[in-house]
A and B are shown apart, each in its own frame.
Chain A
Amino acid sequence: MPDSRTGTRRPRPEVATKLPRGTTARVVLASTRNAWADLTATFTITSWTLGWLGRIIAQVVFYALIGSLLGSPDRIRYLFIGSAVLATAMEALLVVSTTTRERYSGTLPLLVAAPTRLWPVLLGRSVQWLPSGVATATVALFVVGHAFGVSFTLGDGFAAFGVLLLVAVTTYGYGLALAAVVLRFMRLRNWATNLSYTVMMLVCGVMVPLTFWPPWVQWFAQIFPLTHDLQVIRLLESGTYTAREVLLHLGLSVLVALGWYTIGALLLERLVTTGRRDGTIEFAEA
Chain B
Amino acid sequence: MTALRDVDLEIPEGEIHGLLGPNGAGKTTLCKILSTVLLPTSGRAEICGYDVVADTAAVRRLIGIVFGGERGLYTRLTARGNLQFWASLYGLSGAQAQLRVTTLLERLGLEQRADVRVETFSRGMKQRLHLARGLIGDPQVLILDEPTTGMDPVAAQEFRHLVRGLRAEGRTVLITTHDMAEAEAICDRVTLIDNGSILATERPSTLGTWITRYARVRADGVPPERVSSVTAALEALSGVAAVRESAPGTLVVDTAADGAAPEVLRLLLELGITDVATTRPDLAEVYLQVIGKRGMRVD
A residues bordering B, Cβ < 8 Å? Answer: 1-5, 9-13, 15-17, 19-20, 22-23, 26-27, 29-31, 33-34, 37-38, 41, 105-107, 109-116, 121, 275-277, 279, 281, 283-284
Q: Which of B67-75, B156-164, B192-200, B258-266 contacts A (4 or more CB under 8 A)?
A: B67-75
Residue from the list A16, A29, A121, A276 in contact with B37, Cβ < 8 A = A276
Residue from the list A19, A34, A283 in contact with B81, Cβ < 8 A = A34
- List B contacts of A279 (CB < 8 A): 29, 32, 38
Residue from the list A13, A19, A275, A283 in contact with B140, Cβ < 8 A = A13
- List A contacts of B121 (CB < 8 A): none
In the complex, which residue of chain B has the Cβ closest to the Cβ of A279? B38
- Other than A105-B75, A116-B90, give 15 A-B pairs with Cβ distance below 8 A: A1-B12, A2-B12, A13-B48, A19-B91, A23-B91, A31-B85, A38-B76, A107-B73, A113-B65, A114-B86, A114-B89, A115-B91, A116-B89, A279-B38, A283-B71
| Interface: B47 (CB within 8 A) | yes
In the complex, which residue of chain B has the Cβ closest to the Cβ of A110? B72
Contact call B49/A109, Cβ cutoff below 8 A: no
Contact call A12/B65, Cβ cutoff below 8 A: no
Write the B6-49 contact mask toward A (1 if CB under 8 angstroms, else 0): 00001111000000000000001101100111110000001111
Q: Which of B56-64, B237-245, B270-278, B283-291 contacts A (4 or more CB under 8 A)?
A: B56-64
A111 to B73, CA, bound (A): 11
B residues bordering A, Cβ < 8 Å? Answer: 10-13, 28-29, 31-32, 35-39, 46-50, 57-58, 60-63, 65, 67, 70-78, 81, 84-91, 93, 117, 119, 133, 137, 140-141, 145, 172
A192 to B112, CA, bound (A): 43
In the complex, which residue of chain A has the Cβ closest to the Cβ of B145? A283
Contact call A121/B89, Cβ cutoff below 8 A: yes
A25 to B141, CA, bound (A): 28
Given contacts A37-B77, A115-B61, contact A1 B48 (CB under 8 A): yes
Q: What 3 pairs between A and B have smallest CB-CB spacing?
A: A12-B49, A106-B71, A30-B88
A1 to B10, CA, bound (A): 8
Residue from the list A10, A31, A105, A276 in contact with B72, Cβ < 8 A = A105
Given contacts A5-B12, A9-B49, A10-B49, contact A109 B85 (CB under 8 A): no
A106 to B36, CA, bound (A): 15
- List A contacts of B32 (CB < 8 A): 109, 279, 281, 283
Contact call A109/B65, Cβ cutoff below 8 A: yes
Contact call A1/B47, Cβ cutoff below 8 A: yes
